[in-house]
Structure 1
Amino acid sequence: MKQFIDFIPLILFFIVYKLDPRTVELAGHSVELGGPFSATAVLIVSSILVYGVLFVWQRKLEKSQWLTLVACLIFGSLTLAFHSETFLKWKAPVVNWLFAAGFLGSHFIGDKVLIQRVMGHAVQLPQQIWTRLNLAWVVFFIFSGCANLFVAFTFHDIWVDFKVFGSLGMTVLFLVAQGVYLARHIHDETPQQSKD
């Protein structure tokens, strides 16, 4: 569920991006709505609101949510300041590669890989399975970053569609594949635990 909350600002960005540019009256002010720059402003504001509500509700944000929020503020602000979509196109690849670096770095820092720290309270697995699963996340984030970068700078007309639906689709497929992989190993572990 938490992973999908992160997509709320992205979906709002998509909706506003796809609108035909128009001027609307909002609280006595004329606001341009539609296109990349108003969509970027909506992305920034909705990210602050979503993560702000989460912070108030949970009394904290996860590191991944902080990273996403900070990246949105930096790349979104640069996009608006320089009036160039190029900065926003780099946001998804950079965030994905930072996640990949975090997962990879956890193989060398600490006693548990990152995926084990995240899921270890709910699932018991042998260390080699945790290592493989963590490396799968590294590969996924590298691939996702490269795919976003390639589409953003090669297919300008569909990069926003890919950013929303392609990224979401890749994430869902990966989570399903992870679930199948985990189910196979959890099933294998149950008889051994009952023998002990």
Structure 2
Amino acid sequence: MKKFLFDLFPVILFFAIFKWGQGNPADAHALLSHYLSGFMASGAVQESHAPILLATAVAILATFGQIGYMLLRRKKIDAMLWLSLVIITVFGGATIYFNNPTFIKWKPTILYWCFGAGLLVSQFLFQKNLIKTMLGAQITLPEPVWFKVNLSWAAFFAVMGFVNLAVAFAFGLSESAWVNFKLFGFTALMIIFVVGQSMFLSKYIKETP
């Protein structure tokens, strides 16, 4: 649970700052104008974009903070966290620089698709099942089942990427609706999938004497 909240920390901050910016647009605009206008191509901040730009900047800082915390604690940093840092820095930075929220809306899709691609490339190119690597000490499964589990996670990440694009661009929803779904919708989908996987794998879990 602690790791889940730790991983979700930038998303929670993104949501909180966005909502604060919506309720305080003048303050959000003032903060952006003071601290970020120099990082923007136009040199000016549109007030309508202030909440999501401020939330994006805070999420980037939060992800760097996660890396710094892990380094200070001398703990191993997961490859997924490094990947998340790169993607949010690139797409979040583009959002701020071009004053265009489109880039940050693509960020979850790119991240999920990278996760899914990593699972498939490791499986088919290097014959390494990453899900088995993470869970093999707790669960004993036949190799064909490990293969199916790995593919199911890859498929889940692919679907999550498409769902994000649909919510962000296809349904004509507001920016606020996308931000709400980014936290609550994706978290709910992840929990449902993990519970379903746990139920499927429960008969394979080793019992502690």
Partner of 2:11: 10
Shift of 1:110: 3.0
Please state how far the C-alpha of 1:83 moved relative to its aligned partner. 0.4
Residue of 70, 73, 84 corresponding to 1:68:
84
Choose the corresponding residue for 1:167, options 183, 186, 189: 186
C-alpha distance in 2 between matches for 1:71 and 1:35: 20
Quote the residue 2:113 is aligned against: 97
Q: CA RMSD in A?
A: 2.3
- % same residue: 36
The reply to whether residue 113 of structure 1 matches residue 114 of structure 2 is: no
- How many pairs are equivalent? 185
Q: Secondary structure at the match of 2:27?
A: strand
Amino acid at match of 2:160: S
Preserved CA contact (<8 Å) 1:96 1:145: yes
Q: If the length of structure 2 is used for normalisation, what is the TM-score?
A: 0.81
Distance in 1 between residues matched to 2:195 and 2:187, nearest whole Å? 12
**Relative to structure 1, is the Cα distance of residues 136 and 146 closer, same or farther in structure 2, using a 3 angstrom cutoff?**
same
What do the CA deviations read for 1:63-113 (whole angstroms, capped 9, x no partner)? 111111111111110000000000001100011001110111122133431
**Correspondence list, 1:126-145, <5 A:** 126-145=142-161
1:122 aligned onto 2:123: no
Partners of 1:97 and 1:111 in 2: CA distance: 20
- Partners in 2 of 1:178 and 1:51 — Cα distance? 29
User: TM-score, normalised on structure 1?
Assistant: 0.86
The match for 2:27 is 23
In structure 2, stretches of 5+ residues that fail to align are: 37-46
Corresponding letter in the other structure for 2:7:
D
Write the distance in 1 (CA, Å) between the matches of 2:65 and 2:205.
38
Following TM superposition, by how much is the alpha carbon of 1:129 offset from its aligned partner in structure 2, in angstroms? 1.1
Separation in structure 2 between the aligned mates of residue 30 and residue 141 of structure 1, nearest angstrom: 38
Q: Contact 2:140–2:204 (CA<8 Å) still a contact in 1?
A: no
Shift of 1:130: 0.6
Task: Please tell me whether the aligned partners of residues 14 and 160 of structure 1 are also in contact (alpha carbons under 8 angstroms).
Answer: yes
Give the letter aligned to residue 158 of structure 2: I
- In 2, the alpha carbon distance for the partners of 1:140 and 1:185 equals 21
Report which structure shows greater RCO (CA 8 Å, sep ≥6). 2
Q: How far did 1:31 drift?
A: 6.2
Residue identity in the other structure for 2:139: V
- Alpha-carbon separation, structure 1, partners of 2:34 and 2:121: 48
**In structure 2, do the counterparts of structure 1 residues 74 and 115 end up closer, same or farther at CA, with 3 Å as the change threshold?**
same
Contact 1:23 1:30 in 2 (8 A): no
> Greater strand share, 1 or 2?
1
Instruction: Name 1:38's counterpart in structure 2.
Output: 54
Give the match's secondary structure for 2:123: coil
